[in-house]
Amino acid sequence: MPITPATATHSSSNGTAEAILLELVDEDGNTIGTAEKLAAHQAPGQLHRAFSVFLFDERGRMLLQQRALGKYHSPGVWSNTCCGHPYPGEAPFAAAARRTHEELGVSPSLLAEAGTVRYNHPDPESGLVEQEYNHLFVGMVQAPLRPDPAEVGATAFATAAELAERHAKDTFSAWFMTVLDAARPAIRELTGPSAGW
């Protein structure tokens, strides 16, 4: 498995290696503990807190990202603007804003909560499982992107019609349609009826 920021340990202030921990939750989204990131994704998967961000430009086009090839999970596939996991005790909203900036080099404008969705999506390629209680966010992107190549392989803006065409021919993350469908009411509210979402 390639070493990426997601799978690497990082050094704590006393120089010891510290694993990246995720917040484990129950079916209602209440915190019940923590688990190391990779362990939480190994079959059958442990239900953990996650977030998904959908950003749009002023024309109502969705910002998509292609996950970098070095990612430990679902490398090279297309997905929503940004997704990830809060650190234990970190508010999902803060984590969503932080990771969007870390991955894409922009701070979202008008970022708003768009509900939650719970799912279980195995990834046949890696054998890993996305067993997630996902907090959804929608917002605007109004600054030039500066993607981190370790995280993002490519980006693209797509209208609803262009996304349907792209989804038919390109490989998307297993969770993409689940989170998109759950976020659609908030997306429509943000982009207006003419955008077609």
83 is catalytic: yes
Query: Catalytic residue among 82, 83, 103, 130, which?
Result: 83
Query: Catalytic residue among 23, 103, 130, 132, which?
Result: 132
Looking at residue 193, the DSSP 8-state letter turns out to be G
DSSP run (H or E) holding 79: strand 78-79
Tokens 């719970």: give the residue. Answer: 118
Q: Which of 113, 118, 133 minimizes the C-alpha distance to 53?
A: 113
* Beta-carbon contacts of residue 22 (< 8 Å; ≥ 6 apart): 34, 35, 36, 37, 40, 48, 49, 85, 88
Please identify every residue annotated as catalytic. 83, 132
